[in-house]
Amino acid sequence: MNVPILSYSSGQIIAQRRKSTKALVNDISFSLEEGESLALIGETGSGKTMTALSIMGLLPQNVVQKNGIVYIPQNGMDYLNPSRKVKDQLSDNLEKLGISGKNRETAAAEKLCLSGLNPPENFMDKYPFQLSGGEAQRVTIAISACSNAKLLIADEPTNGLDPETKNRFLQHIHLLFPKAARMLITHDITAAEMCSRVLVLCGGKFIESGSSAIVFDRPKHPYTKALKGALVENGMHQTPVLREGSSDCPFYNRCQYAEQKCRAEIPLKTDGNSQWRCVL
């Protein structure tokens, strides 16, 4: 049996307000093995980024993990040193891997190629301000690849990309980190479909999980169905607030199928392929 790269259990992550507290994430658990990819998907405020930050130890958490985490942010430009050339920033990280000076430039060029920047010599001597947003993101990925990472966390890396570029981008991620466990944080179903597994979050709670192909082809929870309905090709249907009151289900107020029994504790169901929390 393979030992997971990451075994994660969030417990409860709480934000302290002036006169009250708010639970941001509630009891989300999952594990990731070598080479496996997992998409965390949901609307803004669903708990995706909070979960990622807690994994990196930036929030109170209960997490057991192997060392070697790489984080790819939403905006690569913000994480590059504006005063150093691309090749120097790559070299800094390659040096930490013990690669000798005469071999670093060759290794840096290889990382840039795998991240989608070709020919690499066109980018080696550039400063970050000379890069486009997409180029800066790829340089950030190339720098991240100059590591022995066991776990890769990519936060909304495909924002604003067309389908072809998005697919190529995720292929580059796979080439650069073939053995690392990969976690994609996204609100984009088309990006999540490219991962082997998906975990659907709503209001800081786990809603549905399983194989991406199965969950998106045959979603069980009304919230997952609503996410699919919000796709452009499906009519971009919104999910308005339909009722007052509270429930253990964070989608209760907007769910068109909700009944009185939804106000009770929500059970965990499974059909052997996926899991979901719903009384219906």
Helix (H) / strand (E) element for 93: namely: helix 86-96
**Shared domain check, 266 and 129:** no
What CA–CA distance (Å, rounded) separates 32 from 96? 26
**Shared domain check, 172 and 51:** yes
Assigned token pair, 142: 């190339």
The mean pLDDT of the chain is 86
- Is residue 224 a contact partner of residue 66, using CB atoms and an 8 Å limit? no
Domain count, the chain: 2
Look at 56-70, 156-170, 183-197 and tell me which has the smallest mean pLDDT. 56-70
Say whether pLDDT at 234 is over 70.
no
- Is residue 80 a contact partner of residue 89, using CB atoms and an 8 Å limit? yes
Q: Which domain holds residue 123?
A: 76-144
Assigned token pair, 266: 């929500």
Say whether pLDDT at 63 is over 50.
no
Higher-pLDDT residue of 5, 65: 5
Residue 242 lies inside a defined structural domain of this protein: yes
Residue 195 lies inside a defined structural domain of this protein: yes
Cα of first residue to Cα of last residue in the chain, in angstroms, is: 35
DSSP at 266: P
pTM, to two decimals: 0.84
